[in-house]
């Protein structure tokens, strides 16, 4: 079956522009997570959803970052007024259910470069 997919795979944008990153989880997966990974570092938590409900957004760096999952499937991470420090790999993961015991499966990521 298909894994987690993300689009676009690469995004180059100019400082000040808004970007929207999309994540399509594995079919039937309840939980969806967004992480950001800098080069040479482990992924850093941003936010996560159970179904359409955003459970935790404590990792979002500031109010320029937002995420939604309106129908409990596809999710969009939006960054407004991008800054150069936003450049990173943005990774989405999904898991079958909640509870901390399920495997989180990662997508290929979106590499964002802000010029």
CB atoms within 10 A of CB 30: 15
Smallest separation (angstroms) from another protein to the CB of 96: 11
CB atoms within 10 A of CB 22: 15
Region binding another protein by CB under 8 A among candidate stretches 11-19, 27-35, 60-68, 69-77: 27-35
- What is the number of H-type helices and E-type strands within the chain? 0, 11
Sole binder of another protein in the list 1, 40, 53, 63 (CB under 8 A): 40
DSSP string for 12-49 = EE-TT--EEEEEEPPTT--EEEEEEE-TTS--EEEEEE
Is residue 72 near another protein by the rule CB under 8 A?
no
d(CA 12, CA 70): 26
Is residue 78 near another protein by the rule CB under 8 A?
no
> Which residues, in sequence order, are bridge partners of residue 21?
77
Region binding another protein by CB under 8 A among candidate stretches 7-15, 69-77, 80-88, 96-104: 96-104
Is residue 94 near another protein by the rule CB under 8 A?
no
Is residue 1 near another protein by the rule CB under 8 A?
no
Smallest separation (angstroms) from another protein to the CB of 6: 9
Sole binder of another protein in the list 52, 56, 61, 78 (CB under 8 A): 56
């Amino acid at each position: 079956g298909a894994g987690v997919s993300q689009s676009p795979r690469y995004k180059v944008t100019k400082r000040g522009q808004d970007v929207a990153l999309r994540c399509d989880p594995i079919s039937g997966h309840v939980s969806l997570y967004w992480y950001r990974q800098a080069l040479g570092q482990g992924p850093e938590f941003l936010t996560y959803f159970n179904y359409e409900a955003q459970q935790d957004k404590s990792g979002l760096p500031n109010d320029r970052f937002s995420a939604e999952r309106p129908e409990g499937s596809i999710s969009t991470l939006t960054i407004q007024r991008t800054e150069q420090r936003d450049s990173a790999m943005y990774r989405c993961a999904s898991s079958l259910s909640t509870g901390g015991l399920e495997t989180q499966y990662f997508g290929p990521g979106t590499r964002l470069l802000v010029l």
